[in-house]
Structures are given as structure tokens and as C-alpha cells.
């Protein structure tokens, strides 16, 4: 049988070579074997039973992919031989898996007492105390006043942050926000158009400002924070304005230097990466509009997925299966992109959230040993909610020259009464998955169709179904993707927890900015920007 003679080798530096052997064999298998059209695969007996798994409130259906039993078995061996289980255990034990920054990646400790209790007592107590403080703030905001100052109204929250310091709370509020008071407004990109309009509409005496920045050095966030606090101080005076300023950060010295009261500061440990910070105090504004109970359920849902990831066999393990499907599409089939289409308007920010999680984590080309990788890593991830996406992206998905595997995310029970609307929504999702897989050939005699109206099919997708959109199921879903990304990083032998690629542009922007404000000498010739800077100046 194919692959039967694959050597089992356990030494670390040989993983890599062996992974390459596995990938090559799988690639060859994918070309050599009688690859059935997806439309035929779908009709194999027990196709759904063999290529779907559930955990908690989630179902993962990967039956509309080109995987067969043999390919899946070999992918599972690849995962085992890559050390997925050992790496997972090291992650949860708090080993410094983010070795380029010499720290662990323990965002799971923010949602799971089991993981928290593995930490040193002092650290665990600080995390727990910080969480209590955050919940206290959230409860006060939800009740419409400043913490400990019932006479000081809070009707609006301006949350300032970017990347992981805004995507999580925004997603949570859209998905699970139950009240419209306080009303939360987000400022992220440095563009002042939206900010100026927002401030013109708000009363500073009813507003709090949350500055969320782990580093407290992010230029966009600090510029917004300075401007918003100028506005507030002008109206209320320094002391009252300071009472309305809250910060969430890991850089306490910078927070203090900015003028945030210690009592209004929430701490973000350095072992919680920005794109993994939805579970932390960064979600303060979201906790205020979801309510404490819902926020705790959200954390608990993620902790349940952590436990599943830690304990389920590889063949039953949702994050592992999703990662292996990802590896199949990226490294065996050579697909360069991946679309995520949630069929629930409340989940409209999931693609943006996953873009950062996936691409900032696994957009790497140097392996853990410092060598350039010789295989593809992160695909380009993008998406927007269905059915809107059907009227923009899907033409290319059905008939374009590139194949883009899709993740459809659907919710079985809606939280509204319009059963017909929900049936239409889910029918559209299932129709798209079917049409992509089978094309016109599966549905009618293609000879009867003009060539322009034919669709080739063979376009893979996964369906992730939630029973209902609850805090718990959303926690499970996001933790599922986190661990999927982690498993892929292990197989690719890369560090998913740093993001040095973002830094260079930040540094260059700091030196280009003075040139735009009248000092052209600030920009070195070597940047090749003189012509465009002159153009901007002359206009
Ligand atoms: O975009 C890079 C990044 O460092 C992200 O990882 C992070 O989520 C974002 O910037 C914001 O960083 P900070 O929270 O330090 O302001």
C-alpha cells in the first residue's frame, strides 16, 4: 500500500525532512491516484459520517474536500510525526514556545482555571485580581456610571485600539451585545474623519475612553488617545477627564506617563499576544454590553475547546482535522487563498478577526531553526458574510482560474422568529457548498449548456455549524481557529506567536511623516519616495 514503508523518525531535526517526504508522497498520491470528482465523493457511502466530527456545540463537515481515507490517514500520521501532541502539551504547560521573544503563549490561562493554576501563584493571583477589576468596571459601565461614582454617568464608551486591541471586542459586541447602553464606538485606523464626526456628536461628561494597547507604543492608538483626551480635558478639565480615562496595557510605565490613573488601569500580561487578547481585559467594553454572565460563558466555551484539543485523539480532534484540511489545500493542492463566509450577520467581523489571527500568526517564511522554508505557509484569508458575498466574491469562486477553498459558518437556530428568512439563509449556504463541489456537471447534462454557463465544480469547502450563536459556541469557534492555526504552525515548523513583519513599516512611517509635514530631508534618498513626495507637495 502507498506510504506503508514510511520511516518513523523521532529526532527533532529530522521531523522536517520527514515532513517534506510526507508532503511529497501526498502530492504524488493526489496526482497519481484515481482522483474522483467531488460530486462522486459526496455520494460515497457514509461520506458525511467519515468526514465530519463534532465537539461541544460545533460540527465540522469536511466531506466536500478531495480527502479520502488514505490521504486523511497519512495526514494524521504527518501530524503525529510532526510532534503536534508534544507541541500542544508544551504550549499548555507554559514553555516559552514564542522562542524569538522568549515567552510562553498562555492566552488560554485567561479563560481556563486549569491553565491559570499551572502558573506561579503570584502571577495567577494577579491575573485573577485583574479579571475581577475588569468585571467590576464592566458592571459599573453597564449600570450607566463610572466605577464607584454613581453620580458620574456613562452613556458612551470610546474604545481606542488597533489590530488585536480592537478586533475582538468589536466582534463580540456585534455577535453578542445585548444592550445598546452604553453605546460603544471604536477608533482604530488613524484617519481623523470618523473621529472628528464622532466627537462632535458626543458629550464628554457622559463618555468614557478606553485606550487598549498592549505595547502602549502603537502610533495610531496614541494619536487618537491624545486627541480624544484633549477634547475631553477642554470640556471637563484635567481632573474630571482623567477619571473618564481607562487603559488596558502591558506597559505600565507608559500608561502612567500618559496620565492614566492606576485605579483605572487593567494589566495585559506579555504572554497574551495581541491577536489572542479577546479573552482578556481588552474586551472590557464588550463585557459591559454582553453582561458578566455572558462574558464568563464565552470564556468557558473556549476553555471547553481547549480541553477537547488537549484530550481528543488526533483523528477526532477538530482543530487538528481543520489544520490538516488546511495543509492539504495549501501544501498538496497548492491553493493560495482561503475564504471564510459566515452565514449570520452577527458574525460579519469573523473574517476580519481571522485575517489577523491566521495571517499575522502563520505568515512566516523562516522556520524555527532559522532556515527559509521550502514550502508554502499561510494562505491569504479573506471573506464577508453570506449572502452578500454571493453577489461579489462567488463568481470567481465558481468560475475563476484559481481555486479558493471556503469555510462556511452557519447557525442552526437563529435568535429571531422569521423561520422563512432563516431557511432561505441556510439554503443559500448549502446551495453554494453544493454548487462549488459538483458544478453544473453534477446537476444537469453539461452538453445542454452553453460553455459560458458551465461550472467545473471540484471546488472544496468545509461547513462549520453551530447549534446556536451563544457566548459559549462563539468561544468554542474562536478557540477552534486558534488551535487550528497552532497545529499548522507546528507542521510548518514556524513560530506563530511573533509578528516582526509588522514592525518595519511602523518604523518607516515615523520617518516619512515629517516629510509630509514640510521637512523633505527627513526621508533618505534610498527610500525612492522623493518623486511621490514632491507630487503630494505640489498638489
Ligand atoms: O499589527 C501588529 C500588532 O502588533 C498586533 O499584533 C497588535 O494586535 C496590534 O499591533 C496592536 O498592538 P498594541 O496592542 O500594542 O497597540
pLDDT for the residue 7:
37
Question: Which band of pLDDT confidence, cut at 50, 70 and 90, is reported for residue 9?
Answer: very low
pLDDT tens profile 463-514: 999 999 999 999 999 999 999 999 999 999 999 999 999 988 888 888 898 8
Whether the per-residue pLDDT at 150 is higher than 60: the answer is: yes
Which grid coordinates are listed for 65? Answer: 474536500
Mark whether 206 is an active-site residue.
Answer: no
- CA of 165 relative to ligand 1 center, distance in Å: 7
**Residue 391 annotated among the catalytic residues of the structure:** yes
Location of C-alpha cell 502612567: 256
CA distance 116 to 309: 17
| Percent of residues in the chain assigned helix, strand, coil, to nearest 5 | 55, 15, 30
Region 216-226 average pLDDT? 96
Pair 55, 312: CB distance under 8 Å: yes
The answer to whether 224 is a known catalytic residue is no
Q: How many Å lie between the centroid of ligand 1 and the Cα of residue 219?
A: 10
Calculate how far, in angstroms, residue 464's C-alpha sits from the geometric centre of ligand 1.
Answer: 28
Ligand 1 centre distance from Cα of residue 341 (Å): 25
Q: What is the pLDDT of residue 180?
A: 75
Tell whether the model's pLDDT for residue 17 goes beyond 70: no
- Segment 222-246 shows an average pLDDT of 98
**168, exposed or middle or buried, with CB in 10 Å at 0-12, 13-18, 19+?**
buried
pLDDT for position 1: 32
Q: 33 or 218: whose pLDDT is higher?
A: 218
Single out the catalytic residue among 220, 297, 329, 360: 360
Listed in sequence order, the residues at least 6 apart from 339 whose beta carbon sits closer than 8 Å to its beta carbon are 381, 382, 383, 389, 393, 397, 404, 405, 406, 407
The pLDDT score that the predictor gives to residue 33 is 58
> Would you state the pLDDT for residue 537?
86
Q: How confident is the model at residue 303 (pLDDT cuts 50, 70, 90)?
A: very high
- pLDDT by residue (tens digit) across 307-353? 999 999 999 999 999 999 999 999 999 999 999 999 999 999 999 99
Mean pLDDT, the chain, integer: 92
pLDDT at 3: 38
Band (pLDDT 50/70/90 cuts) for residue 522 is confident
What percentage of the chain exceeds 90 in pLDDT? 81
Average pLDDT (398-420) is 97
Q: Is the pLDDT of residue 435 over 80?
A: yes
Residue of 391, 416, 452, 539 marked active site: 391
Distance 163 CA to ligand 1 centre (A): 5
pLDDT of residue 444: 65
Ligand 1 centroid to Cα of residue 218, in Å, is 7
Going by alpha carbons, the residue nearest to atom 3 of ligand 1 is 163
Q: How far is 8 from 538, CA to CA, in rounded Å?
A: 66
Annotated active-site residue in 12, 28, 178, 506: 506
Angle at 405 between CA 400 and CA 408, to 5 degrees: 115
pLDDT confidence bin for 32, thresholds 50/70/90: low
Q: What is the DSSP letter of 83?
A: T
Q: What is the pLDDT of residue 442?
A: 65
The answer on pLDDT for 10 being more than 60 is: no
Question: SS in 3 state form for 231-295?
Answer: HHHHHHCHHHHHHCEEEEECCHHHHHHHCCCHHHEEECCCCCCHHHHHHCHHHHHHHHHHCHHHH
What would the mean pLDDT of 28-57 be, rounded to a whole number? 87
pLDDT value of residue 2: 35
Which residues have C-beta atoms less than 6 Å from ligand 1?
Answer: 162-165, 213-215, 218, 221, 274-275, 360, 499, 502
Which atom of ligand 1 lies nearest, measured to the CA of 215? Answer: 15
Q: From ligand 1's centre to the CA of 340, what distance in Å?
A: 23
Would you say residue 445 has pLDDT above 60?
yes
Nearest CA to ligand 1 atom 16: 213
- What is the spatial distance between Cα 107 and Cα 275, in angstroms, rounded to a whole number? 10
Q: Which of 86-90, 290-294, 425-429, 531-535 has the lowest mean pLDDT?
A: 531-535
How sure is the predictor about 16, in pLDDT bands with cuts at 50, 70 and 90? low
Say if residue 368's pLDDT is above 90: yes
Q: Phi and psi for 515 in degrees, rounded to 5?
A: -65, -35
Q: Taking 70 as the threshold, does the pLDDT of residue 391 lie above it?
A: yes
Q: Above 90 in pLDDT, residue 5?
A: no
Amino acid at each position: 500500500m502507498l506510504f506503508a514503508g514510511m520511516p518513523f523518525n523521532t529526532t527533532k531535526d529530522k521531523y522536517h525532512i520527514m515532513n517534506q517526504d510526507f508532503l511529497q508522497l501526498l502530492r504524488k498520491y493526489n496526482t497519481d491516484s484515481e482522483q474522483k470528482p467531488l460530486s462522486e465523493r459526496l455520494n460515497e457511502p457514509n461520506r458525511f459520517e467519515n468526514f465530519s466530527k463534532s465537539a461541544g456545540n460545533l460540527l465540522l463537515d469536511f466531506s466536500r474536500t478531495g480527502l479520502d481515507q488514505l490521504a486523511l490517514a497519512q495526514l494524521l500520521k504527518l501530524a503525529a510525526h510532526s510532534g503536534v501532541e508534544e507541541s500542544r502539551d508544551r504550549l499548555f504547560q507554559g514553555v516559552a514556545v514564542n522562542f524569538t521573544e522568549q515567552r510562553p503563549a498562555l492566552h488560554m490561562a485567561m479563560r481556563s482555571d486549569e491553565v491559570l493554576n499551572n502558573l506561579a501563584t503570584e502571577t495567577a493571583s494577579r491575573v485573577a485580581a485583574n479579571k475581577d477589576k475588569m468585571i467590576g468596571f464592566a458592571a459599573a459601565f453597564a449600570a450607566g456610571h463610572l466605577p464607584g461614582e454613581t453620580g458620574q454617568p456613562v452613556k458612551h464608551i470610546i474604545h481606542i485600539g488597533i489590530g488585536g486591541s480592537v478586533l475582538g471586542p468589536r466582534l463580540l459586541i456585534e455577535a453578542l451585545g445585548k444592550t445598546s447602553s452604553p453605546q460603544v464606538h471604536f477608533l482604530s485606523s488613524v484617519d481623523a474623519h470618523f473621529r472628528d464626526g464622532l466627537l462632535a456628536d458626543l458629550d464628554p461628561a457622559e463618555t468614557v475612553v478606553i485606550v487598549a494597547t498592549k505595547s502602549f507604543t502603537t502610533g495610531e492608538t496614541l494619536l487618537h488617545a491624545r486627541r480624544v483626551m484633549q477634547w475631553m480635558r477642554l470640556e471637563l478639565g484635567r481632573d474630571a477627564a482623567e477619571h473618564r480615562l481607562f487603559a488596558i496595557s502591558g506597559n505600565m510605565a507608559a500608561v502612567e506617563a500618559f496620565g492614566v490613573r492606576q485605579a483605572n488601569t487593567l494589566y495585559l500580561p506579555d504572554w497574551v499576544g495581541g491577536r489572542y487578547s479577546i479573552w482578556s481585559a481588552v474586551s472590557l467594553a464588550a463585557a459591559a454590553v454582553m453582561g458578566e454572565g455572558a462574558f464568563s460563558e464565552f470564556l468557558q466555551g473556549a476553555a471547553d475547546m481547549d480541553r477537547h484539543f488537549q484530550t481528543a485523539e488526533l483523528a477526532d480532534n477538530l482543530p487538528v482535522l481543520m489544520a490538516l484540511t488546511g495543509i492539504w489545500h495549501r501544501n498538496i493542492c497548492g491553493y493560495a487563498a482561503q475564504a471564510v463566509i459566515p452565514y449570520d450577520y452577527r458574525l460579519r467581523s469573523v473574517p476580519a478577526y481571522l485575517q489577523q489571527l491566521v495571517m499575522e500568526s502563520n505568515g512566516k517564511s523562516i522556520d524555527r531553526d532559522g532556515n527559509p522554508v521550502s514550502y508554502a505557509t499561510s494562505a491569504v484569508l479573506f471573506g464577508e458574510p453570506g449572502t452578500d458575498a454571493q453577489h461579489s466574491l462567488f463568481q470567481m469562486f465558481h468560475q475563476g482560474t484559481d481555486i479558493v477553498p471556503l469555510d462556511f459558518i452557519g447557525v442552526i437556530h437563529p435568535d429571531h422568529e422569521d423561520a422563512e428568512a432563516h431557511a432561505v439563509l441556510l439554503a443559500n449556504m448549502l446551495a453554494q457548498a453544493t454548487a462549488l463541489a459538483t458544478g453544473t456537471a453534477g446537476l444537469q447534462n453539461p452538453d445542454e449548456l452553453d460553455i459560458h454557463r458551465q461550472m467545473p465544480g471540484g471546488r472544496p469547502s468545509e461547513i462549520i455549524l453551530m447549534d446556536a450563536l451563544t457566548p459559549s459556541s462563539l468561544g468554542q469557534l474562536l478557540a477552534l481557529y486558534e488551535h487550528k492555526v497552532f497545529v499548522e504552525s507546528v507542521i510548518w515548523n514556524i513560530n506563530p506567536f511573533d509578528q516582526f513583519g509588522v514592525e518595519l513599516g511602523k518604523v518607516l512611517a515615523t520617518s516619512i511623516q515629517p516629510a509630509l509635514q514640510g521637512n523633505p530631508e527627513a526621508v533618505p534618498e534610498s527610500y525612492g519616495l522623493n518623486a511621490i513626495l514632491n507630487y503630494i507637495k505640489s498638489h
